[in-house]
Amino acid sequence: MKKRWYFIPAALLCVCVVLAFAVRTTYTDTSAQRGQFDYMCSTTLQPTLDTLKVKEASDMPEKLIQGADLIVQVKFDGDRVFSSDAFFSIVKVTRVYKGSQSFQGKDLRIVEAISYFSFAKSLNAGNSFSIPLQKGDEYLLLLKKVPFQSSRKLTDFQKNQYYPYTQSAFGAFRMAQEKQTKLFSENDKLTLDTLQGYDVPAGDKKSLDAYYQVKEKVMQLLKIQ
CATH code of the domain covering residue 92:
2.40.50
* Four-residue CA torsion sign, 194, 76, 60, 210: negative
Band the pLDDT of 16: cuts 50, 70, 90: very low
pLDDT at 5 over 50: no
What does the pLDDT read at residue 31? 60
What does the pLDDT read at residue 62? 96
Interatomic CA distance for residues 104 and 174, integer angstroms: 19
User: Own/partner pairs for 178-187, CB < 8 Å, 24+ apart?
Assistant: 179/212, 180/208, 183/208, 184/43
Q: Does 164 fall in a domain?
A: yes
Question: Mean pLDDT throughout 4-22?
Answer: 42
Domain range for 50 is 30-221
- For the ranges 153-157, 158-162, 182-186, the maximum mean pLDDT occurs at 182-186
What does the pLDDT read at residue 32? 63
What does the pLDDT read at residue 182? 95
Q: Does 142 fall in a domain?
A: yes
Band the pLDDT of 186: cuts 50, 70, 90: confident
Angle, CA of 209, 191 and 36, to the nearest 5° = 165
Q: Strands 122-124, 38-40: parallel, antiparallel or unpaired by DSSP?
A: parallel
Q: Does 182 fall in a domain?
A: yes
pLDDT at 173 over 70: yes
Q: Does 181 fall in a domain?
A: yes
Q: In the chain, what percentage of residues exceed pLDDT 70?
A: 86
What does the pLDDT read at residue 74? 98
Q: Does 177 fall in a domain?
A: yes
Beta strand segments in 118-222, E: 122-124, 138-145, 161-164, 172-174
Q: Does 15 fall in a domain?
A: no
Domain count, the chain: 1
Contact between 10 and 162 under an 8 Å Cβ cutoff? The reply is: no
Question: Mean pLDDT throughout 126-139?
Answer: 94
Q: What's the burial of 31, exposed, middle or buried (CB within 10 Å: 0-12/13-18/19+)?
A: exposed
Three-state helix/strand/coil letters over 55-108: CCHHHHHHHHHHHCCEEEEEEEEEEEEECCCCEEEEEEEEEEEECCHHHCCCEE
Interatomic CA distance for residues 162 and 169, integer angstroms: 15
Q: Does 16 fall in a domain?
A: no
Contact between 203 and 184 under an 8 Å Cβ cutoff? The reply is: yes
pLDDT tens-place string over residues 23-73? 333 333 456 677 788 999 999 999 999 999 999 999 999 999 999 999 999
Contact between 174 and 199 under an 8 Å Cβ cutoff? The reply is: yes
Interatomic CA distance for residues 171 and 155, integer angstroms: 25
Q: Does 199 fall in a domain?
A: yes
pLDDT tens-place string over residues 88-102? 999 999 999 999 999
Interatomic CA distance for residues 73 and 222, integer angstroms: 11
Tell me if residue 29 falls in helix, strand or coil.
Answer: coil
pLDDT at 14 over 90: no
Closest CA to 216 of 61, 65, 110: 61
Q: In the chain, what percentage of residues exceed pLDDT 90?
A: 61
pLDDT at 112 over 50: yes
